[in-house]
Structure 1
């Protein structure tokens, strides 16, 4: 049974211009729950190993809306779109999302566009995400980048619990702001923490905090770079891609190699042992001057997985 709690159809105050959008009262805490489980009436597995899944529980509250389009995927993978009413996160918004991915199910969490964080004089916009991936499940978190407007305050926490044979792609990236409007690292504060647990043991944690200091501003520290991205790949189904990433980005450069000053890509190995099995993963970090440059690296890395995921979540965007 699917439990749907749709949000109110309109906001109390319409958005006339995103640059000037403000609200008088803080919106309520938005909770979302989605449970994806394999169908029990019949065993349906596609050519990519994804088991046919259904949404056993779906619930959300204003200002959050969760969409699971029926025909978004060309495989058995399910796609989930979290949407915030108002086109982004207002000052003081707090979105709390909880996801469960069942055995041998594949779920893609993506967005319709960049996550916009509007300006705030004092309140922080927050997003909290918790996920549980059961045995042989596959979770791909592939959102568009976070875009913090000038004077915005943003905090993000993501916690993923994996089972022994679970698989995970976690993409976390951001831009300097509305670059077309001349905004470059002019937000007040940004914080992002990603934690990955394997059967209750912490195997990875990454924490990023950005704020101006008396000695140096964010803009000065970032120089010409306008996009920062991190991608984690973990799990037995991603071993070949991890090995390819290490071979491509981790190999020693020849003497006299001329580095690209507009883009930097690095890779780090991530491995853990579970009951005698050694599972390897990678952490890839990208800094670039433009969103398209960062996306080229992301697309080159993940494009081989698009058939399993049922499509390209970034198609015609960058």
Structure 2
């Protein structure tokens, strides 16, 4: 195999979005096994200037040892949405092989990149590592949804995977770090992850960044306050683990959410969620991210 052929084989999947004729357009789209990109010509009203990219995994999921690398570039004043058509399944590991997926994305001035996939579902013994690195300008806009379920409930698998590690880093274009976050769930260090998670079956993180997200951030913060107030004040709806009246105050809500701001002038908001059901998180995401519809064409997770 020639050096050119090797370089092509190792080339990352990539999507480049730039303005063409005054509209956000895909000027480059490269995908290769085990990942395929689909870029439908129309998602939502034609007046909305947004490009949608769907990711598909051949075989329905990520196989042990798969290494996937993606690079996105969203030009100035462009809008790109990256999503999936179902949960990302990570199959059982073979030996100590770890599957990994790396995403590098650059978001231009006044541009918007929305990463809104379905959750990751790791099978028993799976080992999975994903890393997403974003480079932004001072007025870039970014939405990140990163979430995982406990596994295949119908097969009795709950937090039975061996390793899950997810890293999300955001840097300014001068290299200054803006947001650094890693979630690590490892059976070797934690023992039975299921025991630490109690009955929570889903963990999610949502990041909202940039001037176009300020209104959405304010709404989400107010709604989370209301949700948690209701959860804590209505035991019959919020708690599902009572044994008797004596331990009423030792129980926990079935849905937990919290918000915190980050960055200069509080330009970013991070929302963390834990829930006992996947559907409740879908409902939360649909409700909280609905204000994105005028920017991306359709409400996320509809």
TM-score in terms of structure 2 length: 0.85
CA distance in 2, matches of 1:224, 1:215: 16
In structure 2, what is the Cα distance between the partners aligned to 1:135 and 1:123?
Answer: 39
Residue 295 of structure 1 is matched in structure 2 by 282
Cα distance in 2, alignment partners of residues 181 and 220 from structure 1: 18
Using the TM superposition, give the Cα deviation of residue 53 of structure 1 relative to its aligned residue in structure 2, in angstroms. 1.4
CA distance in 1, matches of 2:15, 2:44: 17
CA contact (8 A) 1:30 1:64 kept: no
Q: How far did 1:300 drift?
A: 1.3
- The 5 Å alignment of 1:234-249 reads 234-249=209-224
Per-residue CA distance 1:59-94 (angstroms, 9 max, x = gap): 122222111111234322100112221111000001
Task: Kindly indicate whether residue 217 of structure 2 is the aligned counterpart of residue 225 of structure 1.
Answer: no
* Comparing 205-214 and 93-102, the one that deviates more: 205-214
* Stretch of structure 1 that moved more, 107-116 or 29-38: 29-38
Correspondence for 1:18: none
Q: Which runs of 5+ in 2 are unaligned?
A: 1-8, 239-252
Question: Which of the two has greater helix per residue?
Answer: 2
Q: 2:292 touches 2:300 (CA, 8 Å); kept in 1? A: no
For 1:60 and 1:156, locate their aligned partners in 2 and report how far apart those are by CA, in whole Å. Answer: 18
Question: What is the root-mean-square deviation in Å for CA atoms of aligned residues?
Answer: 2.0
1:209 has 2:184 as partner: yes
1:159-170 counterparts in 2 under 5 A? 159-170=133-144
- Residue number in structure 1 paired with 2:36: 65
2:263 corresponds to which of 267, 271, 274: 271
CA contact (8 A) 1:29 1:95 kept: no
Distance 1:198 1:250, change over 3 A: farther
1:310 to 272, 297, 301: 297
Segment drifting more, 148-157 vs 76-85: 76-85
In 2, Cα distance between the equivalents of 1:226 and 1:214? 20
The answer to whether the Cα contact below 8 Å between 1:30 and 1:95 also exists between their aligned partners in 2 is no
CA distance in 2, matches of 1:269, 1:63: 36
The Cα of 1:214 is off from its aligned counterpart by 6.6
Q: Is the 8 A contact 1:110 1:313 kept in 2?
A: no
* CA displacement 1:201-259 (0-9 Å, x = unmatched): 111111011112477410000000000000000000111111222223247959x8346
- The answer to whether structure 1 residue 257 and structure 2 residue 233 are counterparts is yes
53-62 or 104-113, larger mean C-alpha shift: 53-62
Residue 114 in 1 paired to residue 87 in 2? yes
TM-score, structure 1 length as denominator? 0.81
C-alpha contact 2:179 2:263 (8 A) present in aligned 1: no
CA contact (8 A) 2:289 2:299 kept: no
- Cα distance in 2 for partners of 1:239, 1:215 equals 37
Conserved? CA contact 1:37–1:101, under 8 Å: yes
Unaligned runs of 5+ in 1: 1-27, 44-51, 273-277
Deviation at 1:30, TM superposition (A): 7.2
1:279 Cα offset (Å): 5.1
**Aligned CA distance change for structure 1 residues 29 and 288 (closer, same or farther; 3 Å):** farther
- Give, in whole Å, the separation in 1 of the partners of 2:67 and 2:189: 29
Please tell me whether the aligned partners of residues 291 and 299 of structure 2 are also in contact (alpha carbons under 8 angstroms). no
SS of alignment partner, residue 71 of structure 1 = coil
For 2:158 and 2:101, locate their aligned partners in 1 and report how far apart those are by CA, in whole Å. 22
- The residue correspondences of 1:9-28 to structure 2 (distance < 5 A) are none
Please state whether the residue corresponding to 2:12 is helix, strand or coil.
strand
SS at match of 1:300: helix
